[in-house]
């Protein structure tokens, strides 16, 4: 099911999509984003490049006002395809256990549509996983030192998310732009996760404690403190800032950690061996992640440059650009998981999703904005 290698919405199509689908005044009904992918027919990918329009749910054209009907193609001739993605939200552990799926949630999986196909693609793809036996639901919610990637973590102000990886500052002697591996020994080490996991969606103070496991999983400060909040990329939220003015590309933060307290090893998978440049991430690529809630899971990339609105609860709604969308590989509490290729090359940082899709930042953007190294070598 590999689609176009790399690829992105053309500038003209992007401008049209922003003005027509996500216009500041009266956006189209149910539309939450768009991106580049392949067109689907009868529930299967055709391989034909298309602008994917993401909606919370599909509604028959006959029931929509004419102004809310998505055109069959963009002005430059690129076809469109409407994909029901449900309600996309940031995925730290809810304060209450998630409700049972409603009939509306279930229909995304059972109506023979694109969503059903996407859901099936997110099932485990490697036969050797069967040798691992049944994974314990609590396996990644316990205290571990050194803490591996994929395990429960969080600021003391939040419930719980996932530790994505151990990273370190760009080193002196780097020559690439952004700087690549340099010379010498790293002076500081950090745990990498989401802003909404380590910094409480901009609200936590620098230096505030981070515990492992997260508070929801029994972590307490100071007994379980593993790190302190060092820095984060601020998220712009609506209604404080209109979505059309948002420049969000990552939901990412760092906690300073002692070298002996955490490890780059991903639970089940080993350490990331490289990171992948954005231009080399392609529709159809197989990916995996290890996360606090759903353990290890596998899926496919369905869009590589998505613009999508994400619900952060009381913090507001944030519009993110240049995002990776995959089939559903996550649930609440998996936020912060490192998304990799099947051979452990870092691809993205998971931060949001729904019952149908998962959303991740390009790891190249995370690396450049936080100015950290994710691995010793480049992909």
User: Per-domain residue ranges for the chain?
Assistant: 11-130+273-361, 135-270
Per the model's pLDDT, the better-predicted residue between 256 and 123 turns out to be: 256
Q: What's the Rg (C-alpha) of the chain?
A: 20
Q: What pLDDT, on a 0 to 100 scale, did the predictor assign at position 173?
A: 55
pLDDT, tens digit, 9 for 90 and up, residues 203-231:
999 999 999 999 999 999 999 999 999 99
Q: In this structure, are strands 165-169 and 372-373 parallel, antiparallel, or unpaired?
A: antiparallel
Asked whether the predicted pLDDT for residue 8 surpasses 70, the reply is: no
Q: How many C-alpha atoms does 344 have within 13 Å on its Cβ side? A: 16
Instruction: Report the pLDDT value the prediction gives residue 222, as an integer from 0 to 100.
Output: 97
Tell me the whole-structure pTM to 2 decimals: 0.87
Q: The tokens of 110 are what?
A: 């059972």
Tens-place pLDDT, residues 235-282: 999 999 999 899 999 999 999 999 999 999 999 988 999 999 999 999
For the chain, the average pLDDT equals 83
What class has domain 11-130+273-361?
mainly beta
Cβ atoms 252, 366 nearer than 8 A: yes
Q: Check pLDDT > 70 for residue 132.
A: no
Amino acid 61: pLDDT? 79
Strand-pair category, 345-353 with 274-275? parallel
Residue burial 322-352, b: 16+ Cβ < 10 Å; e: rest: bbbbbbbbbbbbbbbbbbbbeebbbbbbbbb
């Amino acid at each position: 099911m590999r689609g176009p290698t790399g690829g992105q919405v053309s500038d003209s199509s992007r401008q049209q999509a922003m003005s027509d689908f996500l216009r500041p005044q009266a956006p189209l009904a149910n539309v939450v984003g768009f991106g580049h992918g392949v067109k689907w027919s009868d529930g299967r990918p055709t391989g034909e490049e298309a602008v994917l329009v993401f909606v919370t749910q599909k509604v028959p054209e006959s029931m929509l006002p004419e102004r809310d009907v998505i055109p069959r193609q963009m002005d430059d001739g690129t076809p469109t395809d409407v994909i029901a993605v449900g309600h996309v939200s940031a995925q730290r552990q809810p304060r209450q256990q998630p409700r049972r799926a409603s009939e509306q949630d279930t229909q995304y999986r059972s109506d023979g549509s694109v969503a059903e196909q996407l859901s099936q693609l997110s099932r485990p793809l490697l036969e050797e996983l069967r040798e691992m036996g049944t994974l314990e639901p609590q396996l990644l919610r316990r205290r571990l030192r050194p803490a591996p990637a994929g395990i429960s973590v969080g600021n003391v102000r939040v419930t719980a998310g996932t530790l994505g990886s151990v990273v370190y500052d760009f080193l002196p002697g780097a020559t690439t732009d952004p700087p690549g591996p340099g010379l010498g020994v790293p002076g500081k080490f950090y745990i990498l996760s989401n802003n909404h996991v380590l910094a409480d969606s901009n609200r936590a103070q620098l230096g505030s404690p981070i515990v492992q496991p997260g508070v929801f999983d029994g972590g307490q400060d100071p007994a379980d403190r593993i790190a302190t909040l060092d820095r984060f990329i601020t998220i712009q939220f609506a209604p404080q800032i209109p979505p059309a003015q948002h420049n969000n590309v990552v939901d990412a933060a760092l906690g300073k950690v002692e070298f002996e307290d955490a490890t780059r090893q991903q639970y089940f998978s080993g350490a990331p061996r490289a990171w992948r440049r954005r231009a080399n991430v392609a529709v159809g690529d197989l990916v995996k992640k290890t996360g606090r809630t759903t353990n290890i899971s596998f899926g496919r990339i369905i869009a590589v440059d998505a613009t999508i609105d994400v619900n952060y609860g009381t913090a507001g709604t944030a519009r993110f650009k240049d995002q990776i969308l995959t089939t559903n590989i996550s649930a609440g509490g998996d936020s912060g998981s490192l998304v990799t290729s099947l051979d452990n090359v870092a691809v993205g940082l998971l931060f949001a999703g729904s019952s149908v899709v998962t959303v991740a930042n390009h790891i190249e953007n995370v690396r450049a904005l936080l100015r950290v190294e994710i691995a010793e070598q480049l992909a």
